[in-house]
Chains A and B, each alone.
Chain A
Amino acid sequence: DTAVSQTPKYLVTQMGNDKSIKCEQNLGHDTMYWYKQDSKKFLKIMFSYNNKELIINETVPNRFSPKSPDKAHLNLHINSLELGDSAVYFCASSQGLRNSPLHFGNGTRLTVT
């Protein structure tokens, strides 16, 4: 079984549309994250939730809204998509807030045309 799974794997959409990416982890972790990897391969954290509570919110446009219905799920909704949103989005999870390793999903490649 995949530990951290994201759907869809690929997402192609037009500017101005609204889309969602789903993430689920079956590791029993209490903390989940969204990272963005741009075309230059830089990985940057966007959000982190611990026990469904938002604890990290980097400087991300408010068109991006994470939602955590329970500890095993963290979804990312994006409104009014722009060309610059094209990237690979990774979900991750860990246990606790300290030094436990992060487990990443295999990413969702978002292409905005």
Chain B
Amino acid sequence: DAKTTQPTSMDCAEGRAANLPCNHSTISGNEYVYWYRQIHSQGPQYIIHGLKNNETNEMASLIITEDRKSSTLILPHATLRDTAVYYCIVRALTGGGNKLTFGTGTQLKVEL
């Protein structure tokens, strides 16, 4: 699976959009981009995933660049409860089971 690079930490004001970037320059054509987050003392939580089209759900939007070498997770109106570590993961849907490889992620801190 392709390696991802994320900033170590980011701050965001409550009510503003939080834009979390992820670089995955070695991504191959059959690899999806997944985002999970981990709120302190809880298990990771799935947010969204996509292949090449932009995706939106009730939690967030995922914008993938046309060359697919980077993506941005957007939380449109961040709240204090969105403070968490956000993981960008790239994996292919090949055999070997659903094996997610977590990196170090981005610590997002939402402040008043």
Contacts and interface: CB of A to CB of B under 8 A. Distances in A.
A48 B98 contact: yes
Nearest to B96: A56
Contact of A99 (B41, B42, B93): B93
Interface in B9-34: 32, 34
B100 A102 contact: yes
A55 B36 CA distance: 23
Contacts of A7: none
B81 interface: no
Given A99-B32, A99-B49, A101-B49, A43 B97 contact: no
- The B contact surface, by secondary structure, is loop
A103 interface: yes
B97 A104 contact: no
B6 to A, nearest CB: 13
A98 B43 contact: no
A24 to B, nearest CB: 14
Interface in A11-61: 31, 33, 41-45, 48, 50, 55-56
Contacts of A33: 98
A100 B98 contact: yes
A40 B57 CA distance: 31
B99 A48 contact: yes
A106 B43 contact: yes
A107 B43 contact: yes
A105 B36 CA distance: 14
B54 interface: no
B100 A45 contact: yes
Contacts of A44: 102
Interface of B: 32, 34, 36, 38, 41-46, 49, 85, 87, 93, 95-102, 104
When A and B form their complex, which 10 residue pairs have the shortest distance between CB atoms, in order from nearest? A104-B43, A101-B46, A43-B102, A55-B97, A56-B97, A98-B93, A48-B97, A104-B44, A90-B43, A106-B43
